[in-house]
Amino acid sequence: MFVTKKSSNTETEKKNKKNLWESLRELVEIKSENRQWKTRNFDESKFSEVVLIVKGERFHVSKLYLASHSAYFEALFMGNFEEAKKSEIELNDIDPKSFQHFIESIHGETEVKDETLNELLHLSDFFDSKAVFRRCEEFLLSNSRLSSEEKFRVAVRYKMSNLIEKCMCEMKTNDDIRRGVLSIVDDSASPVWKMLLIKSLSFERI
């Protein structure tokens, strides 16, 4: 009986150690993953007045700073909404990684990349942030590696006049026009269609 009990205890200890190592490994993996998609941790409460909660992720932010870079947050924090008095506010239907990149961009902590462009544009439109929108347009005008058709599609969708003009100037043939048309086929109401038609007719006269 004594030998059996000792053997049983040993097996239990092994299982406990295994579970402990697995828990530690998962914790390390989570921290490593966080480091990969976070340039800055918004976990400092010293200089923040509110915590924004996005699917469990907590962002300690300054109301005044965020309001000065987003009309949405200006209305939320400075208007007559109930949230203006809360110390914690939950934001629904927002991806935490995308919001992390958006907040980092507002604070100038990260550069716009092709990989984060769509989410930044979506959130800059949703939160009405001209600062982030402007950074995205500047990136598309100078550093993006997206194809001309993809840039044109984004420009038309978000009404980026400078980028639309640049893309139009780079269309040198009717084939370029055709590719441009295909890239914005879902934006049939856009006034850019008239510009494309005029551009195409100009080639016919040459």
DSSP 70-118: -HHHHHHHHSS-GGGG-SEEE--S--HHHHHHHHHHHTT-S---HHHHH
pLDDT digits 0-9 by tens, 33-50: 444 657 677 877 778 899
Residue 165: how many other CB atoms lie within 10 Å: 12
Q: Does the reported pTM lie above 0.95?
A: no
Nearest to 171 by CA among 161, 162, 181: 181
Element (H, E) at 156: helix 148-157
pLDDT for the residue 16: 65
Mean pLDDT of the chain: 84
Provide the 3-class DSSP secondary structure of residue 132: helix
Q: Quick one: pLDDT band at residue 147, thresholds 50, 70, 90? A: very high
Provide the 3-class DSSP secondary structure of residue 61: strand
**How are strands ordered across the β-sheet holding 57-61?**
57-61, 50-54, 88-90
pLDDT for the residue 194: 82
pLDDT digits 0-9 by tens, 72-121: 999 999 999 888 889 999 999 999 999 999 999 999 888 899 999 999 99
For residues 177 and 179, give the distance between their C-alpha atoms in angstroms, rounded to a whole number. 5
Q: Are 141 and 162 in contact (CB under 8 A)?
A: yes
Burial of 7 (0-12, 13-18, 19+ CB in 10 A): exposed
